[in-house]
Structure 1
Amino acid sequence: MKTLATIFLSALQTLAFSQATISGQVTDAAGNAVPLANVYLLDTYDGTSADDQGKFSFTTNETGTQVLVAKFIGYREFRQPLTLSGKDITLEVRLQEEVSELNAVTISAGAFTASDESRRTVFRAVDIATTAGATADIAGALNTLPGTQKVGESGRLFVRGGDSNEARTFIDGMLVLDAYSPAAPNTPSRGRFLPFMFKGTSFSTGGYSAEYGQALSSALALDSKDESEITRTDIGILSVGGDLTHTQAWEGGSAAAKVQYTNLRPYMGLINQEIDWKTPPASVQGMGAFRQRVGKQGMVKAYGNFSHSDFSLYNHDIDNYNNKAQYDLANDYRYLNGFYKTALNDNWMVRGGLSYTYMNNDVTLMQDNTRETEKGVHAKAVAEGSLSDQVELRTGVEVINRSYEQVMLPFGGTGTSLGFDETITAAFAETDVYASNKFVTRLGARVEHNNLTDKLSVDPRASLSYKAGSTGQVSLAYGRFRQSPKNQYLQYLNTLGPEQAQHFILNYQRVENNRTFRIETYYKKYENLVKTVDAQLTNLGSGYARGVELFLRDNESVDKLDYWISYSYLDTKRDYLDFPVKAVPTFASKHNFSIVAKYFVQKLKSQLGATYSYASGRPYNDPNSAVFNGGKTPDYQDLSFNWSYLPKPYLIVYLSCTNLPGRNNIFGYEYSTQMNEQGVYNGRPIRQPAPRFLFIGIFITLSKNKSVNQLPTL
């Protein structure tokens, strides 16, 4: 009995000597207490929770090497090896904030993201197709956003004092050389690509990623849809033509084909036009898309766009209307795009693409013929992923080759040919460094080599964003951007250097409860613009653009009502081309304002939309005045309306009308090349082709899923 007692007391004594107390405090990186954190030894039952001061204490009988673990929501797991020998241990546990995709600040300066999948959506993909006045044109819808200028006789994107050539389009990261269909002089053109193709749109008015080159003012990045899950046939009966689309879906993939025919002759026979058409515009377009998943995370995409369009009109002489010259244009266009992406592991993804563009314009003025041909190939490979929990990297290489030729065949004369063959080789890299969920820095650079100038360039990019509260953030961005001169200048002097611009941007954005408020100010410095000096092309041009922009969107305050308001103030001047002095270019307006509203009326099974657009007068040059670009057009105003009626889930009747009040907007003036007998240059206004454009369409969807329709594509 005495022996058993001795053994028992000895065991208790051994246990007491081996028992250790582990204590301390849990804090964050700034030294602030983290209450209620879980603290324990890995693979044991020993542990506790910290108190409201972050302090903890527990005992353990474990010995040897053990791992102390501390956890709390919003912080990365803490682990520290301990050597236990029965002695008490006191330590400080410092937790690092976990940077999560859902809570982390994002880069927003200069960018409007439109995606059905985006967490911080400002402009959804469906908005592009349903904006009144845009007539389902991507550029038309984006022209209601801040940073754009309304140039009604062009229809293209003009961004922050830049001309339309400075706003470039990318599909799945691949450059599109000619994104607009041809149009008659002083009439708006439309984009070649339809909104329904894309699941996401990123419209950046400055400070964009180093991945995007050859864009001086703006990058419009379109992400094509993945595979369709539904087999369907869509039929469109339109007031200006018709279209037929079929989509075939299978497990993990789909294919789609569309054919569209447009002929404006019947419409223009009913509606009087400013233009004297001989043959109104007509076009036929075919599109095809293939999508296939490869493995668990791979995707192959292929897309093709083929079109032919033509028209013929009479240009009337300014001095004598009875004198007219026939103008004929025929355009052929081909665009092919292949894209592949896959995940290498949980942290890294690679993607690549190859695109080909062919464009041919055949223009005859009287009997003088001009043929313009451009071909382009773009190849790109990109790797992106995480170097750590707080550092992300994107890097890639690309080659852009384009050849251009213009052949001029004057009637009865000798033909001449001008052109160039340009190859740009580029590499880019940028990294996002998350100091915390509240602060991110993006640093990057783009390196380019141009074979025509045989020069190497390095363009830095940088962005900072700070999360102000739970719903707001402040962003700064800087970047240098460059772009080759327009074809019409580069063909005469192949060694012309690229035009350049530096962007400085400050942005505040708040997104809360389906409401978005955004204010942005910027300064843009132009350098090396094409400038004519003593009848010679040079890179001695310069300019600037600066302004303030506001954007407000709300689809929460009123049930079934979605609206946004945008305003842009622009101050810009340029000394380029044949400008005798630094002046405001003719495409720039100081004030631009838009209100867009959409309302769904359940009882009428209808969606109603309206858009009001305003732009202050733009300058024009009157040769009768001593002041260059001293003229000013009247202010531009437009009120447009659309109505979508759904009598059946598979049937839509669609009506839209632009410029409903029929306002006589004037976009500028053109003048005779010689004085009249009174020593005055005769002029005439540049007006809209017609006061209004009325569109009616009936859209039918055939599918086993009877709730599927084409409303998102209108």
Structure 2
Amino acid sequence: MRLLTLFFFLFAAATNYAQVTLSGNVSSKQGNPLPGVNVYLKGTYDGGTTGANGLFSFKSAQTDSLIVVATCIGFEPKEQFVTDPSQKIVFRLTEKVNELSAVSITAGTIDVSDKASSMVMKPLDVVTTAGALADITGALNTLPGTATVANDGRLFVRGGDASETAIFFDGLRVGNAYGSTTSGLPTRNRFNAALFKGTFFSTGGYSAEYGGALSSVLALETIDEPVRNQTDLSFMSVGLSAASTLVGEKQSISAELAYTDLNPYQELIRQNFDFELAPRTLQGQALYRHKLGNEGMVKGFLQMSGSQLIIWQPQPGEEGRGQRIAINNTFGFGNASYKKIIAEKWISEGGMSLSLNTDNLEIDSNKYQTDNRLFHVKQKLTHYFTDALKLKSGAEVMVRDYKSADKVLDLSNDFEDIRSALFAEVEWFASTSLSIRGGLRGNYGSLNNEFKLEPRVAAAFRPYKQGIISVAAGIFSQNQNENIQLLSGNIADQEAGHLQLSFQHGSDDRIFRIEGYLKSYSQLAVKTENGYRAQGQGYANGFDLFYRDRTTFKNTDFWVTYSFVDSRRQYEGFQTEVQPSFAPKHNLSVVGKYWIADWKSLPGATFSWNSGYTYDDQNLIGEMESVSPCYASLSVNWSYLWKQNLIVHVACNNVLGRENIFGYTYANQPDENGKFQSMAQGQPAARFLFVGVFWTISKHKEANQLNNL
């Protein structure tokens, strides 16, 4: 027994004698101590963790081939071969750079998503912003770079007209994304905001992936996985809707049928416009999703709608009701897309879409019909060479068929334009403080037999934790207006050059942003004696300011937007460069929301203002030499959670009843005094009132339609 005890102590002593102590410190590349770093001897269980001062120390019985490894979340792992254990081991870890940790390029980009990092606007903002009435475009018009053109309703970005903004649905182009209407009567985006988990809105300098837009891109991304089965019923002062969602293990489907009719509303509240038949629309849609394991998803979407309106528009200098205009519109949009991981570090995305739009137009005894069909197919591959370097490349084809017919004279004209494009873009996250993106896009149009190369470049630098400086530049092109292509099919495409610089400072609850830009136009269509020629040019220079705060005042969220644009262009029938009517120089939006917990209510208000719209006074010398009075509108809303599954929503646009004027319409011929009679272009009514009750039926008692308000 004594011999056994002696042997045990001799063995323990020998073991202690053979152990070595490994110690040192770990810091960042900037020399800051890193706590919580896991430091261990490779191939063993020996190791330790650094303390608050970055120091570590541990023992090991291994005396040769000492390879010490240091690992820490957010940093690249590092190892050292140690020949002398008595020497201090020093690690300098480099911050791991990938797409998530790197600085984001913010120049010209506004992210409207559910991502935690998205501060500018989230999907819920789209439906709770006063004045927007749950219209995606209406909400975006409170953001920097946009101009409020309230008698139109579409997106006008940085001095560009509405056709210069391209709209994409799950990566695929949408044709005729707004409802058909007549001059002076505002329209709406065709898609329900509740469909989308996020919106990418670029006011310029956007990726080489997108083309066919001189000013802006609006990319809508549908929800991947609904959270529950539920049925939503909506009872509104302007119509009814019923929607239902069924969720399975790997698939889901959402469907909605909606009917809106402004005729009962027009009977109750006096309007400034003379409607024979106020706008009414019947719309149905369905969205199907199927998960491909954990590696991808397939989506299919279909929307069909029909709408009608008949309006009498008074004519200056003429008696009676004026000109009778009737519009009968049918619209269809189908979209099929997929996204899948096809190999390690490879992602494949693609799909196809088809937009069909037919307008039957009657102007007094004249009858016209236009048919517009847009087919889009696209394939994109993304390869991650490393976590910090990726390549995005792809190809797409767009086929547009357009036909215009005079049904009385039995005359028609049409064209087909096939647009094909290749694009490639490299994005390098050089560090967590520097990102660089460069791309090239090649476009070919069959109608004018024209090929264009469009280089794009952008970069972002983070000078400190909450600050980002971004720059973006590029060349962009777009086909001419369809009616101009009908008359001059071989006319060259329009072009624009973008250069913009932005600074952003912000946290999760407060953000400030300023962005300046220069935009040049060339090859704009100008009317000549021999038809249209791509001879026009112009510019749009300015800056945007944005501030949002949801932490200074308890339960309060507000943002302020100011945009200045100096825009002039020679286009269409103008002989000189003029300031377009859709580009007021000064634009201001102030949006506020306040949550009242005791009342279960979310009231909100939006004030919109601009410096007025230019117009061409036929009684004065010059072109677009006059400006309307400034535009101003205060809109309010109130959402009340009556029950967990029942919401009452009330909204009033232009609650103060300000009479806004957007310009003037002039008679075709002067009167006996040599003066052209005029008529103001006003708004449909002094105010617009909306009341809705939204009821959700679901086993999940917390479900409601707050996102649909």
Corresponding residue of 1:154: 152
The TM-score with structure 2 as length reference comes to 0.92
* 8 Å contact kept, 1:513–1:556: no
Counterpart of 2:625, as a letter, is G
Runs of 4+ in 1 over 3 A off after TM superposition: 18-30, 32-41, 44-68, 70-74, 79-82, 86-95, 100-103
**C-alpha separation between the residues in 1 aligned to 2:57 and 2:692?**
74
Give percent identity, aligned residues only: 37
Corresponding residue of 2:4: none
The Cα of 1:245 is off from its aligned counterpart by 1.1
The Cα of 1:44 is off from its aligned counterpart by 3.2
* 8 Å contact kept, 2:276–2:310: yes
* 8 Å contact kept, 2:468–2:505: yes
Worse overlay, 234-243 or 155-164: 234-243
Q: Secondary structure at the match of 1:667?
A: coil
The TM-score with structure 1 as length reference comes to 0.92
**C-alpha separation between the residues in 1 aligned to 2:108 and 2:327?**
37
The Cα of 1:70 is off from its aligned counterpart by 3.2
* 8 Å contact kept, 2:487–2:531: no
Q: Secondary structure at the match of 1:251?
A: coil
Q: Secondary structure at the match of 1:488?
A: helix
Counterpart of 1:494, as a letter, is G
Change (3 A) 1:599 1:94: closer
**C-alpha separation between the residues in 2 aligned to 1:513 and 1:23?**
39
Please list every run of 5 or more consecutive structure 1 residues that lacks an aligned counterpart in the other structure: 1-11
How many pairs are equivalent? Answer: 698
Change (3 A) 1:646 1:34: closer
* 8 Å contact kept, 2:629–2:661: yes
Q: Secondary structure at the match of 1:211?
A: coil
* 8 Å contact kept, 2:614–2:626: yes
**C-alpha separation between the residues in 1 aligned to 2:56 and 2:294?**
45
Corresponding residue of 2:529: 534
Q: Secondary structure at the match of 1:387?
A: strand
Q: Secondary structure at the match of 2:163?
A: helix
* 8 Å contact kept, 2:361–2:367: yes
* 8 Å contact kept, 2:111–2:120: yes
Change (3 A) 1:603 1:397: same
Corresponding residue of 2:128: 130
Q: Secondary structure at the match of 2:324?
A: strand
The Cα of 1:416 is off from its aligned counterpart by 2.1
Change (3 A) 1:95 1:676: same
**Equivalent of 2:241 in 229, 243, 260:** 243
Where do 1:403-414 residues align within 5 Å?
403-410=401-408, 413=409
**Equivalent of 2:365 in 361, 364, 367:** 367
**C-alpha separation between the residues in 2 aligned to 1:87 and 1:641?**
72
1:290 equivalent in alignment to 2:288:
yes
Where do 1:457-468 residues align within 5 Å?
457-468=452-463
Corresponding residue of 2:184: 186
Change (3 A) 1:209 1:670: same
Corresponding residue of 2:110: 112
**C-alpha separation between the residues in 1 aligned to 2:413 and 2:170?**
32
Q: Secondary structure at the match of 2:380?
A: strand
The Cα of 1:143 is off from its aligned counterpart by 0.6
Change (3 A) 1:453 1:34: farther
Corresponding residue of 2:334: 336
Counterpart of 2:646, as a letter, is L
**C-alpha separation between the residues in 2 aligned to 1:523 and 1:493?**
30
The Cα of 1:540 is off from its aligned counterpart by 1.0
* 8 Å contact kept, 1:419–1:492: no
Question: Alpha carbon RMSD of aligned pairs, Å?
Answer: 2.8
Corresponding residue of 1:678: 673
Q: Secondary structure at the match of 2:194?
A: helix
Corresponding residue of 2:353: 355
**C-alpha separation between the residues in 2 aligned to 1:644 and 1:59?**
64
Corresponding residue of 1:557: 552
Where do 1:207-246 residues align within 5 Å?
207-246=205-244
The Cα of 1:120 is off from its aligned counterpart by 3.3
Counterpart of 1:640, as a letter, is S
Change (3 A) 1:53 1:576: same
Corresponding residue of 2:75: 75
Corresponding residue of 2:504: 509
Corresponding residue of 2:618: 623
**C-alpha separation between the residues in 2 aligned to 1:49 and 1:607?**
49
* 8 Å contact kept, 1:298–1:340: yes
Q: Deviations over 1:6-26 (max 9, x none)?
A: xxxxxx99x99x999999987
Worse overlay, 600-609 or 345-354: 345-354
1:567 equivalent in alignment to 2:562:
yes
Please list every run of 5 or more consecutive structure 2 residues that lacks an aligned counterpart in the other structure: 1-12
Worse overlay, 632-641 or 267-276: 267-276
**C-alpha separation between the residues in 2 aligned to 1:648 and 1:240?**
23
Worse overlay, 478-487 or 156-165: 478-487
Counterpart of 1:526, as a letter, is Y
**C-alpha separation between the residues in 1 aligned to 2:292 and 2:705?**
29
**Equivalent of 2:702 in 700, 707, 713:** 707
The Cα of 1:74 is off from its aligned counterpart by 3.8
**C-alpha separation between the residues in 2 aligned to 1:99 and 1:124?**
27
Worse overlay, 92-101 or 515-524: 92-101
The Cα of 1:704 is off from its aligned counterpart by 1.1
Q: Deviations over 1:487-535 (max 9, x none)?
A: 1111111111211111111111122141111111111111111122334
Corresponding residue of 2:255: 257
Corresponding residue of 1:610: 605
